[in-house]
C-alpha cells in the first residue's frame, strides 16, 4: 500500500527547488531549450512566427531564432506535416505545430500512412524522429470544427506515440524526451491549460513520456484520466474527500503506449475504476482502459468500470450546451458517489 503524500501530487520530483510559470510559458521554454541545445530542432507551422502562435505559445521565438528555424507555413496541413516527416527522415528534429488537432485530420494520411508506417515498411531502415504539437479540447465555444479531442483516436495507431501533458512540469519536460525519441510523437496540449500556472523545478530535467502518474492517493476508487480532465477530476476528488471518499487519481500522460501497470495496480488496490475523458466515449481511449482492466484485473473489480466522457455530439457553440457536452466536476463526483455507494 502506497503511503499518502500531499493530495495533489503534480510534481514528478517533489522536494526540489521550483518556480511558477504558465503552461504556455512552459511549452515555450521547452522549445527554446531544445532549439538552443540541438541545432537539428526547428519549429514549423501556421502562424508560429510573425503572429507569435495562435495561442501565443511561440511568441518571441521568431525574433530569437530567425525565420529558418521558426517557420511560418502556408495553410497546407498535409504538406507541412509531410515536410516535417521528410525533414525527420533526413536527419532533422522538427517540431511541427498543427494549430488545433481538428485540422490534423487534413494531415491524417501523412501521419498514419507515412510517419507511423515508414519504419516498419522499410524493414527497420528509416525512422521518423518527428514531434507534432497540437492543441486539443473543447470549452471555448468554438463549435464543431474547432473543439474536438482526437488524442484518444490517434492512440489506435501503431508506430505513433501519443502524449497528453496535463501539468506545467510535464509540458516543460516531456518535449525534450519526445524530441529525443526516435519515433514520431504527437503531443496534445489542451488549449484551456495554456493559462494554467504551476510549479516546475528550477533546473528542469527531461522526464519520461511513457509512464502514468498517480496525482492523488486514495483507497476507495481509481479515477483514470489525462489532460485537462485531470484538474476536473482533482476538483471532484477534493469535494469527495470532504464527504469521506478517497479517490486515487491517475494521470495517464501517455495514451500510446499505455502504462498498464500504474492504473492496474491502483485498481487492484481500490477495486473500483472510473475513466474520465472529454473525448467521445464510443471507441475512445476510455473503452480501451475499460477493456484492459477487464482483461487484467477482472477478479479484483467490485463492480463494473464506468466511463464519464464527452457526450457523443459534435460540440455545440452555445455555452450551456457545450458545458453539457463535456464532463464536468459534478458529473464526475456524481458518478463516484454512485459507484462508492453501490457496495
Partner 1 sequence: MKTNLTLPEMTVEIDREHGLHLLHQMLRIRRFEEKSAELYTQQKIRGFLHLYIGEEAVAVGVMENLDPDDNVLATYREHGQALARGVSMGAVMAEMYGKQEGCARGRGGSMHLFDKETRFFGGNAIVGGHLPLAVGMALADKMRGDNRVTCIFFGDGAVAEGEFHEALNLSALWDLPVLFVCENNRYGMGTALELSHSVTDLAAKAAAYGMAAASVNGMDVLAMHAAAREAVTAIRHGGSPWFIEARTYRFRAHSMFDAELYREKTEVEEWKGLDPIQSLIRTLKERDLITDDDINQLELMVGIEVDEGVRFAEDGTWEPVEDLERFVYWEEAVA
Ligand X SMILES: Cc1ncc(C[n+]2csc(CCOP(=O)(O)OP(=O)(O)O)c2C)c(N)n1
* Distance of closest approach, residue 191 Cβ to ligand X, in angstroms: 12
Binding mask 295-334 for its own copies (x = CB under 8 A): x--x--x-xxxxx----xxx-x------------------
Positions in 36-75 near ligand X (CB under 6 A): 46, 75
198 CA to centre of own chain: 16
Nearest by Cα to 128 from 101, 156, 161: 161
Binding mask 113-152 for its own copies (x = CB under 8 A): x--xx--xx---------------------xxx------x
Give me the active site residues, please: 77, 146
Burial degree of 112 (CB within 10 A; 0-12, 13-18, 19+): middle
Please list the residues that pair with 133 across neighbouring strands. Answer: 97, 187
Can you list the positions of beta strands (E) in 39-196? 41-45, 70-72, 93-100, 131-136, 161-163, 185-190
Q: Are strands 273-280 and 254-256 parallel, antiparallel or unpaired?
A: unpaired
Q: How many helices (H) and strands (E) does the chain have?
A: 12, 14
Positions in 205-264 near its own copies (CB under 8 A): 256, 258
* Distance of closest approach, residue 184 Cβ to partner 1, in angstroms: 10
- The residue from 2, 75, 294, 334 that contacts its own copies (CB under 8 A) is 294
Which one of its own copies, ligand X, partner 1, none interacts with residue 79, CB within 5 to 8 A by kind? partner 1
Q: State yes or no: residue 144 binds ligand X (CB under 6 A).
A: no
- State the Cα–Cα distance between residues 334 and 270, nearest whole angstrom: 18
- The residue from 40, 83, 86, 103 that contacts ligand X (CB under 6 A) is 103
* Distance of closest approach, residue 105 Cβ to its own copies, in angstroms: 4
- State the Cα–Cα distance between residues 260 and 263, nearest whole angstrom: 6
Binding site for ligand X (CB under 6 A): 46, 75, 77, 99, 103, 106
Amino acid at each position: 500500500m502506497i503511503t499518502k503524500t500531499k493530495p495533489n501530487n503534480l510534481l514528478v520530483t517533489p522536494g526540489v527547488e521550483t518556480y511558477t510559470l504558465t503552461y504556455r510559458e512552459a511549452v515555450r521554454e521547452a522549445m527554446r531549450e531544445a532549439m538552443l541545445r540541438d541545432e537539428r530542432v526547428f519549429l514549423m507551422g501556421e502562424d508560429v512566427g510573425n503572429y507569435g502562435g495562435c495561442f501565443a505559445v511561440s511568441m518571441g521565438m521568431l525574433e530569437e531564432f530567425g525565420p529558418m528555424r521558426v517557420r511560418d507555413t502556408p495553410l497546407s496541413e498535409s504538406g507541412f506535416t509531410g515536410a516535417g516527416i521528410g525533414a525527420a527522415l533526413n536527419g532533422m528534429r522538427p517540431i511541427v505545430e498543427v494549430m488545433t488537432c481538428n485540422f490534423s485530420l487534413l494531415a491524417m494520411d501523412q501521419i498514419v500512412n507515412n510517419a507511423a508506417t515508414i519504419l516498419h515498411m522499410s524493414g527497420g531502415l528509416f525512422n521518423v524522429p518527428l514531434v507534432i504539437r497540437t492543441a486539443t479540447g473543447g470549452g471555448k465555444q468554438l463549435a464543431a470544427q474547432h473543439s474536438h479531442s482526437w488524442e484518444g483516436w490517434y492512440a489506435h495507431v501503431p508506430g505513433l506515440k501519443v502524449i497528453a501533458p496535463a501539468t506545467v512540469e510535464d509540458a516543460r519536460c516531456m518535449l525534450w524526451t519526445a524530441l529525443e525519441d526516435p519515433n514520431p510523437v504527437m503531443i496534445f496540449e489542451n488549449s484551456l491549460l495554456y493559462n494554467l500556472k504551476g510549479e516546475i523545478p528550477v533546473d528542469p530535467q527531461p522526464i519520461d513520456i511513457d509512464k502514468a502518474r498517480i496525482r492523488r492517493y486514495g483507497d476507495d476508487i481509481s479515477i483514470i484520466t489525462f489532460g485537462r480532465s485531470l484538474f476536473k477530476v482533482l476538483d471532484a476528488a477534493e469535494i469527495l474527500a470532504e464527504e469521506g471518499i478517497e479517490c486515487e487519481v491517475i494521470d495517464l500522460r501517455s495514451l500510446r503506449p499505455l502504462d498498464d501497470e500504474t492504473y492496474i495496480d491502483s485498481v487492484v488496490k481500490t477495486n473500483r475504476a472510473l475513466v474520465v475523458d472529454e473525448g467521445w466515449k464510443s471507441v475512445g481511449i476510455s473503452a480501451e482502459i475499460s477493456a484492459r482492466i477487464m482483461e487484467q484485473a477482472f477478479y479484483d473489480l467490485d463492480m463494473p468500470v464506468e466511463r464519464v466522457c464527452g457526450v457523443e455530439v459534435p460540440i455545440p457553440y452555445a455555452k450551456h450546451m457545450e458545458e453539457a457536452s463535456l464532463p464536468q466536476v459534478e458529473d464526475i463526483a456524481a458518478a463516484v458517489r454512485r459507484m462508492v455507494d453501490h457496495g
